[in-house]
Structure 1
């Protein structure tokens, strides 16, 4: 349409703004963004003089768009192949702070160092507590989320080991990774995933890395820094009060977060106040902000006080000036190796005023705050709080604490966070009031009563409470009271249920130490605690320690309790289990037969304890090569447990595992493999890769594969099991030696004869030190070593061993026993080969 007049007429009729000329139809043919620099509106006043300016404007806009556009790394066709882009993951446990003010300089610096031309992958924010590092990091996280949707974002608080462990577990859950460890494994799992290309682009914020030893580690213990991922696709932003931590972590890429300037501080106070007219006296406001050291947290708390009381700023300033300004506790607990600029106790001054005001108006709020000062400051479930008041009063008290910003609710949940400095300031205030000991005592009594017992229904609640109980117990050295050790007992039981055996041992050791100092050796409670400690030792593979305690407990209980008493039977069961783990098979069988006999008299056939003893008796029979007896019992136990227990239940899986082991020993190899494959699959979902039970099932599956001539499959599993057991078990441990024996057997079947001999020689040497000469496992290793020697043409060495094995097996095995026949046949084969060798050499 070349006529300008026609264009004017049509524009007037249809209310058009302009006519498209150069770009018309382009977007219908090519997926694109058209950037138009307008020089005219294609009307009758069209003027080409402005075209150069319009082109320059369009170019500048296009450049700005390209700088913001997220470039795709890797194969651009990957999205087309899969049909959709990789979805980002987010774990940011805090809502966006809509009142965040200022900090443009710091945020721009972060934007530049992470996304500019000279990009870095690590950056640290360092500054005084309460300066606003966390809020800056939170604002930056949401900026990245909004502007760069291809980035996953994760938040990792490192206030304590337990808090970090919980965060890693949440991140693993978000990523769909199975938790595999009680100690460091979940951290390693997350670290490994984020270090891989599969994770895509991500931002990790490590918040409150203030404890140098916790983060950087010590000579005796690695720090959390070792579990931070490294990837060219990833970025880590760390916040800390410690300049040393910042330097160690980020080298020169450190931003010092300074106090707010007057304008930012004034805007923050104005935004936070409900009554803006309170700021009419600018001079008083500036004086108040100066007294608060222009610290964001102090300003926010001051505003919360003013909103609640509706007092003018001058009143609050007067309260601050008249308050006792002695915050040495804060300076002592939070002082770092590097001194901070400005007043170190300004926040403490603000909080002392607030504590006193709450004390006057809401005693229940003070009680709650006092209790929370004893536990972990993050992720506090409302259900853990003392609730001896009416629900309305409790909600009102929580509301008071939230109104002062001492508590922050996580979204719409009943979970709260307390700033770490509020936490410490409250402890300091209680100490000054000479209330700390009483508050700790009350907190211990409350949590000892509130912490749920170990059962499946309360599993999630126990997980929520556990970090708080551990925090309380770690600071409770002054209160040696019954409730302290009752809480230790419950926490230890929780660790035991979660198969965190080393942590359970520490708790039960505390309980036993306490009760041994108070109670006689025949006291029922003391014996019960010793029983629990011994069970934890046994599960932690400290077999000799377990036996020593259990023998004492059983001896005392035989004197004091009836033979049908539940506690006595439980201790006898555990002692027999310890004997079985120590290869004292006959001793174990004798006790298990007694326990099973008594429990059959007094317990229902579906009772868990009765089934547990029947299971262990069958295991002992299996280890004693009474295979048919073992199978009969295991089939019964498995049948009952399938009726009564979930398919992922540890006890049910243990019985299925043992039944498969019995089938394998009975040469029912296909049936054994079917069960083992199922058990291994479930245990990989539910247990850590270092868990003893999971490794045992993997070991047995590999053994079944080997017997089924799936040699390569067997070797792959055995190599993994041996590697892990070398890390976790003593070199004389029976299970470790069993896996090494089987790996050598697999190598022998794979014609890796030299490797097999090397392992067999080691296993035989250790088993000759630790096992009786008639032990089946020792004889099996000696037999296997002889077979390896024979394959290596070391016939005389093989004969020497086999003559010993055949002689011993003649004493302990029936004439038609398959193992005995194998040894006899192998010895005869050796003699035949030796005669052939002599004949070949004309001897």
Structure 2
């Protein structure tokens, strides 16, 4: 009324007093103005109702709600604009939502309001990173940008410093800043107070929900996410009232949408402006710390309990959607906020650790598991299944980080607890209860992690039988056990049995979960590893490429599973002598692992070591030495001088020195590796025997044939005992003994060794495998010295065609050639394959 009445004195021909004497006269003046606007032909006017923050289509008892249309002129001409946060006013006319400023526009406004001169490129786009960061943080909200510009103009601080103050002292900063020009609602602290008061009258629960939403990531909030907070056992009554009924929840959310405090998005999501979030968290003084703690607890429970099971279809899609919210929760926990000691909340924290672990974010996973474990040890028994599961998961993270001593401590603690629980469960729940079976399977995992393979097989077999009986053979639980059995058999070089398990798992996963599920891709990757071990390199490449394509699509190019597959492809290309392709894969894996895991992570150093092996094969010995030294330095720092990974790299360095004809340095490396293995693993361990075999190779290079023969005999006896007569490593030593006998002129003994090696490799690898053909070639070479029986199916021309070089090539005694002979190389160490 006052605003309309004030216009009367400015109308042409007005004879009335400029200032009304009373309320009745003021209303009369206002009506004169409305009648004048309605005069026929008088259409050149614009009437603006600015910041309408109250509305009611019917009179209210309190009188604080009104219908703004009552103040429209009775005419069908002229123009009216209403600015408001009340979305429901769109029924009065054409609706034009005022969106946030685009990034470039926001930066220009920031420079204009701060008085700074903008530096830009040829298109006039700002290039100053600090101004862009500040404008992005304020997310295009003009009021916040102008207030920032005003503060910067008045104080002379930089854009970067303002952003720092904004993050550290939000409320203090806003309380002393105003925009240059008059703004009727004052600064940001008071901007939404009137709206808040109106919402409080309409729906008090909507106000509580608004403050709850401020603890989530602002860009993608959805109904199902919030309702997961109901899984927490101790939530406020108002939240249960709102969230337990979806219609009630949507009605409450609509109140916030109607007041423009949140926006609707596609895919049933909502957006909340970050400055509104800042106001809710820091600028609103009427909510106490106790209520804030309750809101944080609900948010934490909602995000944690929303994490889906890995067995669900496309679980990774939801996990990626949850990651920004998990980051918000991580920031809350890192601020020192005490986690409520409630089992359901601690379970949510554990599941956030699982989320981060699945995404290859090991540091974040470690923090979540540690927080969950600290709470569970206080609120639950130390041998409670939830506590032990967290201990086991934390051990897996330590193992993935290469912190093997800490991992071992976790595994031992979990193992003792699980064994105790299993005994209890078998008595109280029975052997067929699902919880009992789960413990059996987890025990199998622990035994395998500790290298207790026989015990692991017993547990897996027992779990598989029960899962198949209770759930069916194609249930994900049963198939996971099948796949782990395949890994176990692969570790034991029981390759045929491993292949049966992998095929069964792959068929079952494809049927029940689809070809693109990460469980299916894991089985594909395992099959690729198996085919490579069996020398079926073309089949292995098909599996690896399929796994890589699937992982890149599901998890992204930088996920640890994707990078592990790339590393495996590097191994494969190396075995195929595709050295350029292998180097590209290794370099890609190395770059990705440096970025995701860090330069000193076990997997990063493993890739560096494999690059060294590739360079050795290419006789790029300087590059190989550089890679090995990098890997050696990292392993020594992370694992110690006596760790088996470190000793393996020492052995590889010995190979490089041998290739460089630095035989004394090579001998020093081999002896150092041998001593370390004997101390760490014992004299009969396969890694120890590998070092013995390498020393035999070196002594042969030095012409010390008796010493070489002694080494080979020791290696052969140990491998026959540990691995069996027909194991590939055993056959490699048999072939080496054949070389020594040939050098000594003991041709019959040499023939006997070569024939045994050939028969064994034909059996294990097939007649056309490269290693089989190499032995056949050696036999034909020996035939030039004496009468030697050869296999008819291995004709000289067939060998030449398959291997691509002439026979007798491998008789060259130069160390550079000998270093490339597969029979002279140590079997691949622990890092050969990386299975998801």
Q: TM-score over 0.5 for the alignment?
A: yes
Structure 2 equivalent of residue 437 of structure 1: 290
Aligned-pair distance for 1:591?
1.6
Unmatched segments (≥5 aa) in structure 2:
1-96, 227-238, 633-645, 652-672, 746-810, 814-836
Residues 597, 408 of structure 1: alpha-carbon distance in 2 compared, 3 angstrom cutoff: closer
Structure 1 equivalent of residue 46 of structure 2: none
The count of corresponding residues between Structure 1 and Structure 2 is 563
1:795 pairs, out of 702, 719, 728, with: 702
Quote the Cα distance in structure 2 between the aligned partners of 1:402 and 1:635. Answer: 52
Residues 414, 624 of structure 1: alpha-carbon distance in 2 compared, 3 angstrom cutoff: closer
Residues 821, 394 of structure 1: alpha-carbon distance in 2 compared, 3 angstrom cutoff: closer
1:331 pairs, out of 171, 184, 205, with: 171
The secondary structure found in structure 1 opposite 2:216 is coil
Contact 1:127/1:240, CA 8 A, preserved across alignment: no
2:735 pairs, out of 788, 800, 825, with: 825
1:594 pairs, out of 451, 455, 459, with: 459
Structure 1 equivalent of residue 140 of structure 2: 134
The secondary structure found in structure 2 opposite 1:515 is helix
Residues 129, 721 of structure 1: alpha-carbon distance in 2 compared, 3 angstrom cutoff: closer
Quote the Cα distance in structure 2 between the aligned partners of 1:619 and 1:130. Answer: 48
Aligned-pair distance for 1:454?
1.1
1:180-579 map, 5 Å: 246=159, 330-332=170-172, 346-384=187-225, 387-388=242-243, 397-410=252-265, 414-428=268-282, 431-434=285-288, 436-442=289-295, 444-445=297-298, 448=301, 451-455=305-309, 456=312, 460=317, 463-468=320-325, 470-472=327-329, 474-475=331-332, 477-478=337-338, 480-482=340-342, 483-561=344-422, 562=425, 564=431, 566-567=434-435, 570=438, 573-574=441-442, 576-577=444-445
Quote the Cα distance in structure 2 between the aligned partners of 1:548 and 1:242. Answer: 56
Aligned-pair distance for 1:807?
0.9
Quote the Cα distance in structure 2 between the aligned partners of 1:126 and 1:652. Answer: 43
Structure 2 equivalent of residue 635 of structure 1: 503
The secondary structure found in structure 2 opposite 1:647 is coil
RMSD of the alignment, in Å? 5.3
Deviations 1:399-438 (A, max 9, x none): 543454433445x67544434443333345654453x422
Structure 2 equivalent of residue 804 of structure 1: 711
Tell me, yes or no, if structure 1 residue 749 matches structure 2 residue 598. no
Contact 1:802/1:823, CA 8 A, preserved across alignment: no
Residues 727, 572 of structure 1: alpha-carbon distance in 2 compared, 3 angstrom cutoff: farther
Structure 1 equivalent of residue 581 of structure 2: 713
Quote the Cα distance in structure 1 between the aligned partners of 2:715 and 2:338. Answer: 61
Quote the Cα distance in structure 2 between the aligned partners of 1:332 and 1:504. Answer: 35
Quote the Cα distance in structure 2 between the aligned partners of 1:469 and 1:755. Answer: 42
Quote the Cα distance in structure 2 between the aligned partners of 1:760 and 1:132. Answer: 48
Deviations 1:432-486 (A, max 9, x none): 453x422531552476257424144676555545534553564362562415423
TM-score, normalised to structure 2, is 0.55
Aligned-pair distance for 1:513?
0.5
Aligned-pair distance for 1:606?
1.8
Residues 122, 750 of structure 1: alpha-carbon distance in 2 compared, 3 angstrom cutoff: same
Deviations 1:324-344 (A, max 9, x none): xxxx985337699x9998999
TM-score, normalised to structure 1, is 0.55
Unmatched segments (≥5 aa) in structure 1:
1-92, 139-206, 211-238, 251-327, 839-843
Deviations 1:216-239 (A, max 9, x none): xxxxxxxxxxxxxxxxxxxxxxx9
Aligned-pair distance for 1:371?
1.7
Structure 2 equivalent of residue 200 of structure 1: none
Aligned-pair distance for 1:512?
0.9
